[in-house]
Each structure stands twice: as C-alpha cells, then as structure tokens.
Amino acid sequence: MREFPTDYNDHAGGSAAPTRRRKRRRHRLLIFLAVFTLLAGTGLLAGGYYFDRVPTPTDLKLPESTTVYYADGRTAMAKLGAENRTIVPYDQMNDSAKQAIVAAEDRTFWTNKGIDFSGVLRAAWSNLTGGQRQGASTITQQYARVAADLRGVTYSRKLREAVIAWKLGDKYSKKEILGFYLNTVPFGRGAYGIEAAAQTYFGKTVRRDAPPQQQLTQAEAMVLCAMVKQPEADPADPEGSPGYDPRRNALAKQNSVDRWNYIRDGMVKLGYLTPEQAANLAYPDTVKEIDPNAGQTGLDGPNGLVVNHVLAELRQTEQFRGKPDEIIRDGGYKIVTTIDKRVQEAAEAAADIRRDTAPEAVRDQPKNWQAALVAVEPGTGRVLGYFGGSSGTGADYAGWYYDENGHASGFGQHPPGSSFKVYDLAAAVQDKISVKQHFDSPETKEFPESGRTKDSSAGPIRNAEHAACQPDCALWEATVASLNVTYFELTEKLGTAKVIDMAKQAGVDSMWATVKGNPQPQRVDLRDKSAEESAKRFSTEVGIGQYGISVQDHANGMATFAAGGKRAEAHFVRSVTKGDDKLYTEQLEQSDIGLNEEAINQLDWTLRRVKAAKLDNGWDSAGKTGTWQAGQSTTQNVHTWMVGWTGALAAAVWLGTSDGKPLKTKDGSYQVFGSNAPAPIWRQFMEQATAAMKLDPDKYRFSDPKFPDDAPPPATSQPAPTTSSRTASPRPTPSETPSDSSPSPSPSDPPTPPPTGSPSLSPLATLSPTRTRGPR
C-alpha cells in the first residue's frame, strides 16, 4: 500500500524552486481573478472583509461530547451531548478512514493546492451569466465550509470556501487539514467526526492503539465515508432521497453499496488496495440499527441517576453556575466522578433485587418492592457507589437533587426508624453518657412531657422488640435490642435539638417534617438553620426515626462515624478537565463533629454487637437496622433499613415499596424487617465491595473503649468479635488504590413509579407514606 508523504510542500528543491514559486504565483492570480469576478458579479466589492474576518481552525471551537468517567479516569460511565463528537488527533488514527475519505471525496487531495480553481471560476462565471450553481469542492474547501459554519450552495459561500482554503493551505500541512476534516464532518445519526461515527455505526474506534479487533476496518470505513455525500435523509423527500445510511431503507442501502464500490475503485487507483485485495473485500452488513439516542450513552440504567447528581453538583460550582446544561453536555469535558466501578458493580448486584445476583431473601419478591443503596468513603465524602433505582430516567429512591430548572427532583426520603438511633447514641456518648448506663426499659412507658400518654391519640411509647435485660437495660443492650422506650427517654434527656444537631453535623442535611394542612411532608434544610430552630419543626419522635431522611444523607452520616467523627461533604465529582486545562477539582475538607476517641470507640463497640452488622469476611463492622410501620398497624411495615460501616466503607440500604403499600412477601407474609430484608443486601454489598477494593482489613480495625471510671464491659450472649488495641484513626483512604476496568452488569427492568407517577418534588416536599406508629 502507498504510504502518505511526510510533507507535501517540500518535494521541490534546487533548480525547481523558481518553477514552484511561479506556479504558486499563478495559482494565487487565478484565485484573485476568481474572487474579483465573483465579487464584481455579486456587488460585494469590500473583499477585504472576507480576507480579514474568516475564522481559521485555531479560532474554531468545536462542540464535542462530554464523557463522564468512573473514579479511575479511564473507564467511561456515560456520554453526554446533543452532538456526538470525540476528537482523535490525526497521528492517533489508523489508516482506514484516512484512505477511504480521500478515495471518496477528493482523490487529488495529497497533490492539489486545496482549492478547486476551475470550480471557483465556474461559480464566478455562472454568477455572471445566470447559470446553475456549482457544487463539488476539495476536502480543504469542505472543511473550510464547516469551519465557517457556512450553509447552502451560494456564490458567496464558494468565495469564502476558497479564501479559507487558501489560508489553510498556507498555514497547515495536508495531514493536519485531513485531521481537521475527519474530526469535523457529519456522518449522520448525530455523529460528528470519524470516531463518533465508528462508535455509532459499528461500535468500534479509529484509534490505532486499540486492540485490532476493536479498530475500524477498511471496509467499515468505506461505508462511513460513503455517508459523507448525504449524511441524512432529505426532510422534503425522506423516502426518495434517503441518503446513504444502509439501515434507513432499501434505497439507502443500494446507495451505500454503490458508493462503497465507487470508493473501492478509488482505493485501487490511489494504490491503497491492490486489485486482488479489492476483489476480496466484502461490503460489511454489521452496521448497527438506527438509535435516536446514540449520541448519549449510559443514561438509561442506574448510572443515569448518578449523572443527574453529577450535573446538579456542577451547576453549583463557580465554573458552571448560571450556565445552561448544554455548556456542560456539549463542552467536550472529561468529568471524573467519585464512583468506584468495583463498588458500583457490588451495589447494583446486591440492591437491584430484580437481578439473580441479589440476596435470596429479597430476590423474586413482589414488583412493588424497591431497594436503594449509597456507599460513601470515610474521610473524603466521595460517593463510591449509588443505586437509586434500575432506571436512569425513573424515580431516584436514594436521594434528591436540583434539576437544570432549579426544581427538586427525586424520591429518596424515607422514615429511618431505629436506624436513626445511631445519632441518638452518638449524641449520648458525646455528652459522656456511657453505653453502660442503665435506663428504665419496660414494654410500654408514658412520656407526658412529649405528649405520649395513654390518653393521647398516639398513646404511650411501645417497644417493638424484647430483651432479656428488661425492664432495666444498659444503653448498649437497649441499642442491640432496639428498644424504643429507652431511646425515647434518651432523646428527652438529650433534647430534640441535640439529636438533630448530631445528625446534621454527621451528614444529614435534610429532614422531612409533618406540616398541618399539607398532605405531604415538607423538606427542612438543616444546614441553614440552628439546631434549636430546626427542633421547632420536629417532636421527640425524631429520636426513634419518625421523620424522613435520604439514603444518601444517612450513608454520609455513617461515613462520618467510620472516619472517627470527621465529617466530609458527600459528593460525586472528582475533577473536570478539557484537554490540558483543569476546570474543577474536588475540595476535600473535614470538620470535627466533637466525638473524642473514647466516644467513637464506644459507638463502634456497641454497634458491632448488632447481629445483622456482622460480616463473614474478617472485617470489623458496625451497624444498625431500622423498621417503620405502616399507618397505625403493629404488624405491617413499609420502610426497612440497614446502615453501618467498616473503617474503609460506609453504606446505607433502604428497602420499601414503590407505591407506599406495606411490604408483603411473595408468600403473603408481612414479616419484613430491617434484619431480614435490607440487612442481607448490606452484608453482601459490604463483603463484595471490600473484597473488590482489595484492602487489608487489619489496617481498619476498631479499638476497644476504656470505659473510664467503670467496671469491665459486661458479658453478653452475643459477644463482640475480638478487637485489636490499634487506634482506628487516621485510617487510610481506600479509593487511592487503582480501580479495575471489568465490565459493568446490565441494568434490569425499571421499577414501578411512585404513586403520583412522577419522581419530581417541590423544593420542600416529597412523596411519603402516611405517618406511622413506631419504629423497630
């Protein structure tokens, strides 16, 4: 095969130089004459305007697809943008498209001066004589047309093509011009440039460093280059003039085959193929079916919800605040998220309960069952895994965000039940209330100060569980047994504001309050209010998990405790770059929420004794279950939770229903609790995610509390695993380890939508089941 010359301006030398200069002067004279004639014919005598104002490639800002990546910065998660364009430098392309486009569009490209002089003169003469408009152009002129955003076959366009092409030929090499063209020309189906076309039509790449089986072949490149002649069907006659996309209709297929044969003949004439090679080359029938959303990928499955949060987060940054979303989508940016592909795969495998990878306890259950899971890295706030639902365009059950119109969207708030008691316990140990301190813990108890008496409509506080220690239980025993009476008394003792403040500091940014006269709970932003002010919106029931919070906030709260009481903001974006320019970088900041080492150790020590939190892979782990009942029922539940952490990873899992009805198993049982539904999801996820991250559990051991001024900790029927005396903080950051790039599982069918049929909510409200009687 013929190789491309290195520089097509340096073949003349010695005595040939004067001849070359004479030819160049002659060519310029021809251009001048053509331009002058065309200007004179159109009355555009101010020709200097065209010479001074035409854009050159260095002035050109090409719209380009934005790609969203996993945390490794190499594995693409999604592609955004109205125009599907990915620029590949000329020297990184294989030869398939370079040869095919020359054979298709401009067979003298490597030897001509970039301008079809006769074409320009014909256009000028036609202009003077009233003849037909002229069409064909060189590749250089075609690029000039796109660069100047010129449309329609007009005489002034022909002139401007010639002027820009003249400039291009003087300033750039042939290779550079061909690279500009291949990265710019439309190929149909919304694909601009050869790389986008290769991906859209064949699922391949033109990059020469890709594995051979993934690279665009010559025969495939010829199909693509045939489409340049007419990328899309004529809107006025789509059937009669369908273009060259072989999947559009039979006529388009025949057009494509005929054009492909024409290109093949040109490849032989130019020496790119031998006659024998051409005879053995077959037209490929592997063109993909037409997909109207081909320019955007990765948005239909669970990652589509991640992208929603990524865009919402970027809208709040200085670089993108107040700008339309098109600036991000069509900006050609590289957005690296915090999502670790290995963790995300584990999250989807466990929480997407329609898959056969989900735990057996939640697999094949009724269609209205729905789970959500969020995992956050302790110490950094990076969201490593996020599953809010299996449909990227459906309801988000794990969180909420502001869309591009400033409206709050999502369905991610649910009453946390007893899983909220983690914040009560943290507030207690912060106030130096030992987990060994005893509380009166009968089956039921009245609390007149909070309006919970036998004469009140809600009645006294009732335990949903039992413990051997009753009626006199240590706080750690009441935690393991999840006794509501104990925790209601603890909340009264601490004060509602103290509990809310602990949740706020740990990571709960929003809670949903009941408002008289409003059928839906209203979101209260805890960040812009003092705890005392927020406490006016909530009752003592906050301590037993009556008021909704999001799965994402709950996961961030757990990450704060996992990091030894150091809170970091949960976030989805690590960096945004374009070329060599870094536009945005995450700001990793921590705030100390006021828990000393002894408080953290007592928290870990107590919550690792919760049976549902025990992992079977050797990791130290702590956690808490939660269940919230449906309406006034004492036998039916509508929300179940499991939250917790290791030193390397924190996660929150919610399992409920998509329509707000009570959880009912496929066997007709209502015995669905935090311990037997979300807990298996949480354990499977934590075990698979920590294994995939390949971290050493010995670097993340919990430390035993000292219980100052007290006797040794009591023995229990569920002793805590043996712990080392190693201090847990500071713990290493797990996401600094490299990610793998194994393929992600396919998403399953989307969940049943919320009762209203829409995932949207007002800035202060969201959908929620009816207020319920008590947690478990």
Q: Tell me, what's the pLDDT at 171? A: 83
Residues 6+ positions from 101 with CB-CB distance below 8 Å: 139, 178, 181, 182, 194, 221, 225, 228
Distance CA 428, CA 103 (A): 78
Residues 6+ positions from 529 with CB-CB distance below 8 Å: none
Q: Which two tokens stand for residue 607?
A: 């919550």
How many Cβ atoms sit within 10 Å of the Cβ of residue 133? 14
Q: Smallest Cα–Cα separation from 560: which of 427, 687, 683, 436? A: 427
Band the pLDDT of 742: cuts 50, 70, 90: very low
Distance CA 489, CA 473 (A): 12
Q: Tell me, what's the pLDDT at 149? A: 60
DSSP structure string for 43-84: T---THHHHHHPPPGGG----B-EEEE-TTSSSEEEEE-SSE
Band the pLDDT of 143: cuts 50, 70, 90: confident
Higher pLDDT, 292 or 634: 634
Band the pLDDT of 28: cuts 50, 70, 90: low
Band the pLDDT of 23: cuts 50, 70, 90: low
Mean local confidence (pLDDT), 495-500: 98
Q: Which residues pair with 591 in a beta bridge?
A: 567
Q: Which residues pair with 205 in a beta bridge?
A: 215
Mean local confidence (pLDDT), 668-680: 96
Mean local confidence (pLDDT), 718-740: 41
Distance CA 128, CA 149 (A): 25
Distance CA 444, CA 653 (A): 29
Prior bond of 678 cis (ω within 30°): no
Please tell me the number of Cα atoms within 13 Å of 218 on its side-chain side: 18
pLDDT in tens, 605-621: 999 999 999 999 999 99
Q: Which two tokens stand for residue 430?
A: 């912060």
Q: Tell me, what's the pLDDT at 633? A: 80
Q: Tell me, what's the pLDDT at 22? A: 67
Band the pLDDT of 594: cuts 50, 70, 90: very high
* Residue 536 pLDDT greater than 80, yes or no: yes
Mean local confidence (pLDDT), 154-173: 73
pTM score of the predicted model: 0.73
Mean local confidence (pLDDT), 685-700: 96
Residues 6+ positions from 648 with CB-CB distance below 8 Å: 377, 378, 562, 619, 690, 693, 695, 700, 731, 732, 734
How many Å separate Cα 529 from the centre of its chain? Answer: 31
Mean local confidence (pLDDT), 717-722: 42
Band the pLDDT of 479: cuts 50, 70, 90: very high
Please tell me the number of Cα atoms within 13 Å of 306 on its side-chain side: 36
pLDDT in tens, 563-587: 999 999 999 999 999 988 999 999 9
User: Which residue matches tokens 């909220």?
Assistant: 420
pLDDT in tens, 432-463: 999 999 999 999 999 999 999 999 998 999 99
pLDDT in tens, 60-104: 666 778 999 999 999 999 988 877 778 899 999 999 999 999 999
Q: Are 655 and 369 in contact (CB under 8 A)?
A: yes
How many Å separate Cα 248 from the centre of its chain? Answer: 32
Q: Tell me, what's the pLDDT at 118? A: 65
How many Cβ atoms sit within 10 Å of the Cβ of residue 601? 23
∠ CA(190), CA(195), CA(198), 5° rounding?
75
* Residue 311 pLDDT greater than 90, yes or no: yes
Q: Which residues pair with 644 in a beta bridge?
A: 623, 651
∠ CA(776), CA(767), CA(462), 5° rounding?
20
* Residue 119 pLDDT greater than 80, yes or no: no
Mean local confidence (pLDDT), 474-484: 97
Q: Smallest Cα–Cα separation from 769: which of 626, 625, 636, 624? A: 636
∠ CA(692), CA(643), CA(750), 5° rounding?
70
Q: Tell me, what's the pLDDT at 634? A: 79
Q: Tell me, what's the pLDDT at 573? A: 98
pLDDT in tens, 369-386: 999 999 999 999 999 999
Q: Tell me, what's the pLDDT at 299? A: 87
Q: Tell me, what's the pLDDT at 34? A: 54
Minimum mean pLDDT among 34-38, 293-297, 673-677: which range?
34-38
* Residue 668 pLDDT greater than 70, yes or no: yes
pLDDT more than 70, % of the chain = 78
Q: Which residues pair with 573 in a beta bridge?
A: 337
What 3-state DSSP class applies to 94? coil
Q: Which two tokens stand for residue 208?
A: 């020469």
**Which pairing describes strands 549-550 and 461-462: parallel, antiparallel, or unpaired?**
unpaired
∠ CA(556), CA(562), CA(563), 5° rounding?
90
* Residue 551 pLDDT greater than 70, yes or no: yes
Q: Tell me, what's the pLDDT at 405? A: 84
**Which pairing describes strands 186-188 and 191-192: parallel, antiparallel, or unpaired?**
antiparallel
* Residue 595 pLDDT greater than 70, yes or no: yes
